[in-house]
Structure 1
Amino acid sequence: MKLPKSLWFFVAAAIAFLLQLLPIPGIFLMILTASAWPGFLVNIGFLGIAVEALTRRASFYWLIVPTIWFGGYAAVAWRDHLPLQRLEQDVARRNASASVDFDPLRQSLVLVSKAREMPGSPPRAGLSLDEQEIVAALSAPVIYIRDPATARSQFSGASHIAIRTVDRLLCDEMEEPAFRNAGILTFAIFDLDGSGTSRMEDRDSRFCALGLPEDPILPPIEVERSQRESRIGLLPVSEITVTATMPDGTRRRMYGGSVHPLPWFPKPILGCALDSGAAAWRCFAHFSRDDVPLSPVLGSRFGGDDTAPALVQMLGVRRITAATRRGADSSMVLAKARAVQEHAIADATAKLDKAVDEDMSAPIGYGGLDVLLDRTDIIRPRLASIVEAMERSAAVNGTARDNVRQMLAMVKRLPPELVEPFRERIDVVDHYVRGR
């Protein structure tokens, strides 16, 4: 029986895959998206076999092979698409009662952030895209963020960050280390276009967001976004839920997400790529799948940064734009910032005194003394005691050693004339700590 010439496409597909098994040529092929080549060649091969069989350039029986490939695939894809309409209707029905009676004058809006940090770590340096857009889009005077993974002590006694829209000049002032070291954070405001990226041209030139360690006073409505992966048969489903917990404990939920059915035409992916997380060269073989949102509000964006439009609909608030955005009263925010700074200085001073006078193993926390950097008025009367405490604890492992490192960083920032009488002793401690 005469073999179809189109079988050479399968040989080429095998070569394209085998070359990717080797990391050195595989890296260059990865840049050229070679993982799509074998699938493309396989489809061309099956189509070529069908053409050759129909034109009698090969036995007619060869038509069975592409029929099984495309027909079997179409049957599985049809099964994937069967539940789509039912799932969309179910989400729409459940979201019909998802509205929340939110009044920013009587309630606080609290975003429960994802636990991205380890307990005791320093305050976060930025907002997620989701949080960025919520701050940019919602017409609430203040939005609180609570991160379950961040220790209360890192926020000068507060377990929340209060985010307010303020004049950019105030943010510029808050960029000073004296404020940043007290846990006061500044963020740019981007009017995102829904693409999942923040571009410099979308940055608001008049306003920014200022984050202060501050707990809500009004009864909180806590909002949390969760995602769960599941399957209906072979169909992968990404379920997204935005839950609003009211002050009385009742919950309102908005549902969404996306399903990932097979497209009607097969798109096999066979290749290898560098797994940078595990520092390994990994190979894979699967069919490409589509991304079909179950809700026009929640789950319709690449990357999942879609909580803002869901909250606008849920809370019934007005969505603001760059043209309608207004900033909080700068004098009020500045007074709060100075109070936070004073609280942080008092807290750090108390921790320093406890460590120096009582127990060098008492936890100060990551960057717990940073707010005292350049505070000569506080460090000068304690300098002799600090040097003595460092000498006692330089050889002790654990928390005491960490505290010595922080005190060394603080002492090294002092004017040379203050440090000179203790220079040799400080150098010995520094050399010992570095050597360990």
Structure 2
Amino acid sequence: MPRSLWFFVFTAVVYYLQHIPGIDAVLMILLASMWPIIAINLGFAGIAIEATSGTISRAWLCLPLLYFGGNLVLAGISHYQLWQLERRVEAANTVQSLPFPSGGALVVDSTQPGIGGLPEGLIGRYDIPVVYQISDAPKGAFSWKITAGSLCQTRYPKNGAVFGYLENHKLIHGMCTYRREEAPPRDAVKLAASAPIAHESFFLPYEEQRITITDGRDRSIELIYAQARPLTWFPMPFGGCFRGPGDAKSACIFEPLRVFVTPAIGPIGNTTDLVASTLNLTPSRASTRRQRIEAEAIPAVLRPALPF
């Protein structure tokens, strides 16, 4: 018998212990649910090494071949379904277009997940001076813009907040992101997302949202945004028990760990670029617009906020 089978015995014992109150909490803190990834893979790899070295019969090679080869087949099916999902979403989004009006304003309703960072992404990477945001915070209407100069040195500006501006993961000296309490114009282009709809599947579980963009003349388009969790090419068996606050006992699972959440919106890999492409916004890093931003900084700060 292969000595590597002890890795599977160890995995089974740890998984059983996680069903016992008290011990389950300790093992949860020790991340015992992640141990099967190491133990089971070491077990099958050990069997392969023992079989090829002649320690055990070569017939045992069937187990690691089935394990690792079977995972490749399952991952291939999962990624093929991801490719199909990407093509469907891309085909639906490609035909959608709503050119952004010159001098217009964009309002992002970020009360749903998935588009929370959209205002910062648009003003930093596209030629749009300001984006408004509606959130579920007590003071729920804000304007976002990139600014430069003395305002960036102000720690607590009136009715606003200043954040360092990052571009290509680097902090740009003398420039900052300025968020201010400000109501958007009534005729602004409005963007809102639906609640995510979960599609459960062993091969490809994913969540899908509809992003609706409406202009001031009641024209609207609908985009699709999806996030999928395909199977990994390397097997990652995950098993453990978890107890939430107030739960009488732990809930136990044993399944493939899906580490990476993949946006499934075709070649455009994020909501910022998807929305910008649909609105025909011009790509332009804020640092390349610095001279114009500095010229507009003082009037923008002095301009009073619109009343609610």
TM-score range, shorter chain: 0.7 to 0.9
Match of 2:265 in 1: 295
* 1:96 Cα deviation from its structure 2 partner: 2.0
Q: In structure 2, what residue type is equivalent to 1:92?
A: E
* 1:249 Cα deviation from its structure 2 partner: 2.7
Contact 2:235 2:256 in 1 (8 A): yes
Match of 1:81 in 2: 79
3-state SS, counterpart of residue 119 of structure 2: helix
* 1:111 and 2:114 are equivalent in the alignment: no
Instruction: Choose the corresponding residue for 1:310, options 274, 280, 283.
Output: 274
Contact 1:185 1:210 in 2 (8 A): yes
* 1:330 and 2:295 are equivalent in the alignment: no
Instruction: Choose the corresponding residue for 1:139, options 127, 150, 155.
Output: 127
Q: In structure 2, what residue type is equivalent to 1:321?
A: A
From the CA coordinates, give the structure whose radius of gyration is larger: 1
Match of 1:48 in 2: 46
* 1:8 Cα deviation from its structure 2 partner: 1.7
* 1:292 Cα deviation from its structure 2 partner: 4.2
In 2, Cα distance between the equivalents of 1:93 and 1:58?
54
In 2, Cα distance between the equivalents of 1:128 and 1:172?
26
Contact 1:14 1:38 in 2 (8 A): no
* 1:287 Cα deviation from its structure 2 partner: 0.8
In 2, Cα distance between the equivalents of 1:164 and 1:63?
61
Match of 2:144 in 1: 163
In 1, Cα distance between the equivalents of 2:151 and 2:236?
53
Q: In structure 1, what residue type is equivalent to 2:160?
A: L
RMSD over aligned CA atoms reads 3.9
Match of 2:160 in 1: 185
In 2, Cα distance between the equivalents of 1:253 and 1:189?
33
Stretches of structure 1 lacking an aligned partner (at least 5 in a row): 117-126, 194-198, 301-305, 344-436
* Counterparts in 2 of 1:168 and 1:242: CA distance versus 1, 3 Å: farther
Contact 1:163 1:210 in 2 (8 A): yes
In 1, Cα distance between the equivalents of 2:176 and 2:49?
63
Which structure: greater helix fraction?
1
Contact 1:165 1:208 in 2 (8 A): yes
In 2, Cα distance between the equivalents of 1:28 and 1:233?
27
Contact 2:123 2:286 in 1 (8 A): no
- CA-to-aligned-CA distance 1:375-434 (integer Å, 9 cap, x gap): xxxxxxxxxxxxxxxxxxxxxxxxxxxxxxxxxxxxxxxxxxxxxxxxxxxxxxxxxxxx
Instruction: Choose the corresponding residue for 2:192, options 198, 202, 224.
Output: 224
3-state SS, counterpart of residue 226 of structure 2: strand
Higher RCO (C-alpha 8 Å, min separation 6): 2
Contact 1:167 1:206 in 2 (8 A): yes
* Counterparts in 2 of 1:69 and 1:166: CA distance versus 1, 3 Å: closer
Q: In structure 1, what residue type is equivalent to 2:9?
A: V
Match of 2:232 in 1: 263
Match of 1:385 in 2: none
Report % sequence identity: 24
Contact 1:109 1:144 in 2 (8 A): yes
In 2, Cα distance between the equivalents of 1:42 and 1:163?
49
In 1, Cα distance between the equivalents of 2:133 and 2:58?
67
Q: In structure 1, what residue type is equivalent to 2:107?
A: V
* Counterparts in 2 of 1:323 and 1:75: CA distance versus 1, 3 Å: closer
In 2, Cα distance between the equivalents of 1:143 and 1:277?
42
Which structure: greater strand fraction?
2
In 2, Cα distance between the equivalents of 1:277 and 1:142?
45
In 2, Cα distance between the equivalents of 1:169 and 1:36?
50
- CA-to-aligned-CA distance 1:66-125 (integer Å, 9 cap, x gap): 4554454444334323323332322332222223211232x3211112169xxxxxxxxx
* Counterparts in 2 of 1:132 and 1:44: CA distance versus 1, 3 Å: same
* 1:236 Cα deviation from its structure 2 partner: 1.0
* 1:14 Cα deviation from its structure 2 partner: 3.4
Contact 1:297 1:310 in 2 (8 A): no
* Counterparts in 2 of 1:65 and 1:138: CA distance versus 1, 3 Å: closer
3-state SS, counterpart of residue 215 of structure 1: coil
Contact 1:167 1:330 in 2 (8 A): no
Aligned pairs, number: 298
In 2, Cα distance between the equivalents of 1:86 and 1:262?
15
In 2, Cα distance between the equivalents of 1:314 and 1:29?
47
* Counterparts in 2 of 1:243 and 1:49: CA distance versus 1, 3 Å: same
- Report the TM-score when normalising by structure 2: 0.75
* Counterparts in 2 of 1:204 and 1:251: CA distance versus 1, 3 Å: farther
